[in-house]
Structure 1
Amino acid sequence: MAGNTASAHAADHHGRHVHINANFAATVVVDPDSLTCGGFDVTAQGTATGSPIGAKGTWQDQETACTLPLPGHYDINGTAIIGARDGDQISLGYHLTAPLTDGTTVYPSGTFWIKGGTGEYAHASGGGTMNAVVNLLDTAHVSATLDGSIS
């Protein structure tokens, strides 16, 4: 398939568009820092698809969702690795916020920034917006969308 060749990745990479949809299962534990965080440590794994990685990519992340630094909100800081089908990876950091709620669904939103990667993305930079949907009663089915640019 042409979408999975190195030249196709290079064309997408230099095309500067990022639109990635990720679906993943999150494991949540209480963060031990009750003085400055008051929240949770989260790790996740799943799938990712979109530009520039193509279909059948992977998603891995690690984050801390604190409640004390930003009263009334989750203050979320994390890192993620997005893998393309050919094994090339994009590394990124992100910062999201979401209001604390009595409801079961949280909608974190914020920004991401690209910190390089491997293969075609070894020297990549860029960033954009990131939005997620988290059902607090079903963390096995979390989704996120990233829109932005890469260079």
Structure 2
Amino acid sequence: MKDHHKQAVIFKQLYILKKLTDDWGDKNICNLQQPHFNMAFMPFFMAVGLEGKSSSSIAANLKVSRQAAGKIMKELEQTGLIKVEKNATDARSNLLELTEAGRSFYLQVTEQSELLTKKYVKLIGKKQLEMMTDTMEKMIHFHEQLNHCHNMGGTHG
């Protein structure tokens, strides 16, 4: 007889890790200079990066619709962390750049992220952390391929 509880463990682990990581971020990142910053915006904010990016490339990279990315970017713009300008080479997309406040916050987030990574290395070791990261990348790639196959009418999986 199969143990269905054990088969569902990965969903629980991913959920709890995400929740605890967000809680850590609320305590260690959001209160730095941005007490009203929402951790749900972090992937979008960090995706803008120091060089800036188009909203459509961020949406594609984060696997969300352009409309969903646009909504979050509008909220980030209201915080004063990013500025949005029309893309000179593609009128359908916007260029997003960090403001001075955004650049400062980005560097603080990067610093806190490095400190957390050091704690992870101390906890599980550099090799284990690298293996975990590689494994997660493989799982992401698997799901991307699976979704691509389903979108093409296949039943791969």
Pair in the same fold by TM > 0.5: no
Under TM normalisation by the shorter chain, which class is it? under 0.3
**Higher Rg:** 2
Name the TM-score, length of structure 1 as normaliser: 0.25
